[in-house]
Structure 1
Amino acid sequence: MLAPTPAPPNARWSRGWHLARVLALLTCAAMGSACASLPSDVVRTPSQAWSAPGQTPLGQLTSQRRNAAAARSDSGFHLLDSVDAALTSRLALIESARHTLDLQYYAVHADASTELLLQRIRQAAQRGVRVRLLLDDFNTAGKDAQVLRLGLEPNIAIRLFNPLPGPRSSFVARIVGSLHDMDRIQKRMHNKLFIADNAWGITGGRNLGDAYFGSDEKSNFVDLDVLAAGRIVRDMSASFDRYWNDELAYPMDSLLSPKDLERLREQGLARSAPDAPAGAVLPGVDASEIASVRRAPMDLARVPLVWAPSVLLVDKPGKLSADEEAGAQETVVDGLLGLMREARQEVLIISPYFVPGRQMMDTFAELRARGIAVRVLTNSLASNDAPAAHAGYARYRPDLIALGVQLHEMRADVSAEGASAGSGFGIGGSKGLSSRASLHSKAVLIDRRLNVLGSMNLDLRSQLQNSEVALLIRSTRLAQQGARLIESTIARGAYRVTVEDGVLVWRAPPGAAFGDERTEPLASWSLRLLVKLLGPLAPEEML
Structure 2
Amino acid sequence: MSSIYALFGRSIALLVLVLQGACAQLPQHVDRPVSTALSSPNGTALEALVQQRRKADAARFESGFLLLAGPPAAYGSRLALIEGAQKTLDLQYYAIHADASTGRLVRGIRAAAGRGVRVRILLDDLHSTGRDALVLGLAFVPNIEMRLFNPLAGARGSSFARALNSIGDASRIQQRMHNKLFLADNVLGVTGGRNLGDAYFGNALKGNFIDLDILAAGPIVQDLSRSFDSYWNNERAYPVQSLVKRSELEAIRERAQQADRELADESARAQNSPPPATPAGEPKLGAAPTPAQLARAWDEKPLDLQTARFVWAPAVMLADQPGKIPADKGVEKTRAPGLVVSQPGDSARSSRRAASLEASSDVAAGSDTVVEGLLQLIGQARSDLLIISPYFVPGPDMKQAFAAARSRGVRIRVLTNSLSSNDAPVAHVGYSRHREDLLKIGVELYELRSEQASVSNAFGSSGSGGSLGESRSMLHSKVLVMDGQLLVVGSMNLDLRSQLQNTEIALLVRSAELSRAASAQIERGMREGSWRVELNGGSLVWRAPEGSGLKDMSTEPDASLTLRLLLRLFGPLAPDQLL
Same fold (TM over 0.5): yes
The 1-side partners of 2:255 and 2:279 are apart by 13
Alpha-carbon distance, 1:42 to partner: 0.3
Please say if residues 42 and 250 of structure 1, whose CA atoms lie closer than 8 Å, have aligned partners that are also in contact.
yes
Give the structure 1 partner of residue 295 of structure 2: 291
Letter in 2 for 1:123: A
The verdict on how the C-alpha distance between 1:506 and 1:59 changes in structure 2, with shifts beyond 3 A counting, is same
The verdict on how the C-alpha distance between 1:303 and 1:182 changes in structure 2, with shifts beyond 3 A counting, is same
Alpha-carbon distance, 1:129 to partner: 0.7
Please say if residues 323 and 338 of structure 2, whose CA atoms lie closer than 8 Å, have aligned partners that are also in contact.
no
The 1-side partners of 2:384 and 2:426 are apart by 29
Of the three residues 387, 390, 404, the one matched with 2:442 is 404
Secondary structure of 1:70's aligned partner: coil
Give the structure 1 partner of residue 9 of structure 2: none
Give the structure 1 partner of residue 394 of structure 2: 356
Q: Give the alignment of 1:352-501 within 5 angstroms.
A: 352-415=390-453, 419-428=454-463, 429=465, 431-501=467-537
Letter in 1 for 2:280: P
Give the structure 2 partner of residue 517 of structure 1: 553
Please say if residues 277 and 287 of structure 1, whose CA atoms lie closer than 8 Å, have aligned partners that are also in contact.
no
The 1-side partners of 2:20 and 2:157 are apart by 20
Give the structure 2 partner of residue 48 of structure 1: 36
Secondary structure of 1:499's aligned partner: strand
Please say if residues 56 and 197 of structure 1, whose CA atoms lie closer than 8 Å, have aligned partners that are also in contact.
yes
Give the structure 2 partner of residue 82 of structure 1: 70
Q: Deviations over 1:413-471 (max 9, x none)?
A: 123xxx32542342554544510000000001000000110000000000001000010
Secondary structure of 1:347's aligned partner: strand
Deviating more after overlay: 252-261 vs 169-178: 252-261
The verdict on how the C-alpha distance between 1:396 and 1:539 changes in structure 2, with shifts beyond 3 A counting, is same
Q: Deviations over 1:376-420 (max 9, x none)?
A: 0001000001111100000010000000000011100123xxx32
Alpha-carbon distance, 1:508 to partner: 1.5
Of the three residues 252, 255, 278, the one matched with 2:281 is 278
The verdict on how the C-alpha distance between 1:239 and 1:177 changes in structure 2, with shifts beyond 3 A counting, is same
Please say if residues 131 and 286 of structure 2, whose CA atoms lie closer than 8 Å, have aligned partners that are also in contact.
no
Alpha-carbon distance, 1:173 to partner: 1.0
Instruction: Give the percent of matched residue pairs that are identical in Structure 1 and Structure 2.
Output: 53
Q: Deviations over 1:66-89 (max 9, x none)?
A: 111111211000000001100011
Please say if residues 146 and 268 of structure 1, whose CA atoms lie closer than 8 Å, have aligned partners that are also in contact.
no
The 2-side partners of 1:276 and 1:140 are apart by 25
Q: Give the alignment of 1:174-323 within 5 angstroms.
A: 174-257=162-245, 259-263=247-251, 267=254, 269-271=256-258, 275=278, 277-278=280-281, 280=283, 282=285, 284-285=287-288, 288=291, 289-294=293-298, 295-321=300-326
Deviating more after overlay: 457-466 vs 280-289: 280-289
Q: Deviations over 1:341-390 (max 9, x none)?
A: 00110111000000001010000110111111110000100000111110
The 1-side partners of 2:279 and 2:137 are apart by 15
The 2-side partners of 1:283 and 1:449 are apart by 42
The 2-side partners of 1:528 and 1:283 are apart by 33
Alpha-carbon distance, 1:219 to partner: 0.4
Question: Which 4+ runs in 1 deviate beyond 4 A?
Answer: 266-269, 283-287, 322-329
Gaps of 5+ in 2: 1-14, 262-276, 340-366
Letter in 2 for 1:465: Q
Give the structure 2 partner of residue 17 of structure 1: none
The verdict on how the C-alpha distance between 1:152 and 1:509 changes in structure 2, with shifts beyond 3 A counting, is same
TM-score relative to the length of structure 2: 0.85
Of the three residues 495, 505, 513, the one matched with 2:541 is 505
Secondary structure of 1:536's aligned partner: helix
Q: Deviations over 1:201-235 (max 9, x none)?
A: 00000011110000111100000000000001001
Q: Deviations over 1:167-203 (max 9, x none)?
A: 1111111111111111222100000000001010000
Please say if residues 35 and 179 of structure 1, whose CA atoms lie closer than 8 Å, have aligned partners that are also in contact.
no
Alpha-carbon distance, 1:291 to partner: 2.9
Letter in 1 for 2:404: E
Q: Deviations over 1:291-325 (max 9, x none)?
A: 33221211101100000000011000010115899
Of the three residues 102, 105, 128, the one matched with 1:117 is 105
Give the structure 2 partner of residue 23 of structure 1: none
Q: Deviations over 1:106-157 (max 9, x none)?
A: 0111110000111111111111111111100000000111111222211111
Give the structure 1 partner of residue 361 of structure 2: none
Give the structure 1 partner of residue 359 of structure 2: none
Letter in 2 for 1:48: T
Is the counterpart of residue 152 in structure 1 residue 122 in structure 2? no
Please say if residues 49 and 241 of structure 1, whose CA atoms lie closer than 8 Å, have aligned partners that are also in contact.
yes
Letter in 2 for 1:320: I
Give the structure 1 partner of residue 265 of structure 2: none
Letter in 1 for 2:34: P
Q: Deviations over 1:254-274 (max 9, x none)?
A: 01146315546x857544766
The 2-side partners of 1:511 and 1:261 are apart by 51
Of the three residues 380, 400, 403, the one matched with 1:342 is 380
The verdict on how the C-alpha distance between 1:300 and 1:389 changes in structure 2, with shifts beyond 3 A counting, is same
Deviating more after overlay: 172-181 vs 394-403: 172-181
The 2-side partners of 1:319 and 1:480 are apart by 34
Alpha-carbon distance, 1:502 to partner: 1.4
Alpha-carbon distance, 1:503 to partner: 1.0
The 1-side partners of 2:246 and 2:55 are apart by 53
Gaps of 5+ in 1: 1-26
TM-score relative to the length of structure 1: 0.90
Please say if residues 152 and 162 of structure 2, whose CA atoms lie closer than 8 Å, have aligned partners that are also in contact.
yes
Alpha-carbon distance, 1:58 to partner: 0.4
Alpha-carbon distance, 1:98 to partner: 0.4
Of the three residues 528, 540, 543, the one matched with 2:576 is 540
Please say if residues 91 and 181 of structure 2, whose CA atoms lie closer than 8 Å, have aligned partners that are also in contact.
yes
Aligned residues: 513
Please say if residues 104 and 194 of structure 1, whose CA atoms lie closer than 8 Å, have aligned partners that are also in contact.
yes
Please say if residues 377 and 409 of structure 1, whose CA atoms lie closer than 8 Å, have aligned partners that are also in contact.
yes
The verdict on how the C-alpha distance between 1:520 and 1:421 changes in structure 2, with shifts beyond 3 A counting, is farther
The 2-side partners of 1:143 and 1:491 are apart by 39
Deviating more after overlay: 437-446 vs 323-332: 323-332
What is the Cα-based RMSD across aligned positions, in Å?
2.2
Deviating more after overlay: 225-234 vs 425-434: 425-434
